[in-house]
């Protein structure tokens, strides 16, 4: 049986180490790694340091990092984004984070997200609640879209982006005319952590890269929110999208997405 409490302690220490690196590297280079996509020296330094730490502390657990790929066990593994929101970070925008989730089978069971420039760390373990520091989190209880602040994930880049972004534009029009406000934060880790924290009522990310999402998904669920795929089915690591929402708005958000896809 997985010792979630012990692994949560490891995850906390891992993101604390990452945060220290991010804060200490005041100068860095930026390189292109694809169409309108980038990587910095900091991304690479953080991932390498966290990989080394996790390999030492939990050698039996695999790891998938955004920059270095998957190594080790494919059933129980850490999902790491060393700097989620690299475009923000590279421009000096403080909306970025380190995201680390433990994936067991199809779902995450341990999570730690550090926001280095906002001085907060979010944590969760399956069945034990979600926290910002020592504060226990509660997802939004809103029941009307007109009261909701909803974040939308980044637009697609790379191959097939034009087709994918037609759906995002339609979603923006659909929600923009009905919700209180729409936000683009540029970091899936923050989107999901803030749904868990009740700062956002929903987050619609029409993608599901495990390093971006798996930690935040557990935070939302442990805070009493729900996370689903575009069809309203339960979110897993294999889902096509990541829709996180307070339980009272689940049906309305899923229906809005269905109208866009329809």
**What digits encode the pLDDT tens for the residues 73-131?**
999 999 999 999 999 999 999 999 999 999 999 999 999 999 999 999 999 999 999 99
The residue from 101, 136, 171 where one domain ends is 136
Q: What value, to the nearest 5°, has the Cα angle with vertex 254 and ends 250 and 256?
A: 120
Q: How far is 228 from 242, CA to CA, in rounded Å?
A: 6
The residue from 136, 171, 204 where one domain ends is 136
Condensed to tens digits (0 to 9), the pLDDT of residues 120-166 reads: 999 999 999 999 999 999 999 999 999 999 999 998 888 888 988 99
Domain with 92, as residue range(s), is 4-136
Q: Is 251 annotated as a binding residue?
A: no
Same domain, 21 and 130: yes
- What is the pTM assigned to this prediction? 0.96
Same domain, 234 and 157: yes
Q: Is 66 annotated as a binding residue?
A: yes
Same domain, 116 and 203: no
The residue from 136, 166, 194 where one domain ends is 136
Same domain, 68 and 121: yes
Q: What is the CATH number of the domain that holds 80?
A: 3.30.540.10
Q: How far is 40 from 29, CA to CA, in rounded Å?
A: 6
Q: pLDDT band for position 36 (50/70/90)?
A: confident
Same domain, 119 and 9: yes
Q: Is 231 annotated as a binding residue?
A: no
Q: How far is 193 from 132, CA to CA, in rounded Å?
A: 9
Alpha carbons within 13 A on the beta-carbon side of 56: 9
CB within 8 A of 247, min separation 6: which ones? 139, 141, 224, 225, 226
Q: In what order do the strands lie in the sheet with 181-183?
A: 181-183, 149-152, 202-205, 242-245, 226-228
Same domain, 125 and 28: yes
Same domain, 108 and 152: no
Same domain, 116 and 212: no
Same domain, 28 and 96: yes
Same domain, 35 and 102: yes
Total domains in the chain come to 2
Same domain, 32 and 124: yes
């Amino acid at each position: 049986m997985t010792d979630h409490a012990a692994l949560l302690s490891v995850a906390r220490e891992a993101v604390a180490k990452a945060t220290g690196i991010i804060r200490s590297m005041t100068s860095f280079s930026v390189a292109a790694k694809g169409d309108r996509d980038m990587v910095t020296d900091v991304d690479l330094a953080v991932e390498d340091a966290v990989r080394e730490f996790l390999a030492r502390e939990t050698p039996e657990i695999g790891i998938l990092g955004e920059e270095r790929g998957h190594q080790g066990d494919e059933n129980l593994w850490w999902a790491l984004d060393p700097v989620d929101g690299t475009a923000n970070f590279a421009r000096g925008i403080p909306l970025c984070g380190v995201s680390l989730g433990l994936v067991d089978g199809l779902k995450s069971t341990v999570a730690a997200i550090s926001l280095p420039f906002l001085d907060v760390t979010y944590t969760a373990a399956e069945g034990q609640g979600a926290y910002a520091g020592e504060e226990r989190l509660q997802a939004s209880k809103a029941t009307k879209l007109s009261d909701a602040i909803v974040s939308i994930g980044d637009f697609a880049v790379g191959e097939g982006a034009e087709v994918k972004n037609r759906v995002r534009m339609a979603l923006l029009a659909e929600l923009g005319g009905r919700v209180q406000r729409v936000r683009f934060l540029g970091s899936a880790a923050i989107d999901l952590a803030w749904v868990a924290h009740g700062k956002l009522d929903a987050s619609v990310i029409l993608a599901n890269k495990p390093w971006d999402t798996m930690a935040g998904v557990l935070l939302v669920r442990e805070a009493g929110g729900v996370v689903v795929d575009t069809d309203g089915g339960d979110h897993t690591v294999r889902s096509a999208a990541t829709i996180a929402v307070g339980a009272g708005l689940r049906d309305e958000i899923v229906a809005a997405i269905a109208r866009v896809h329809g």
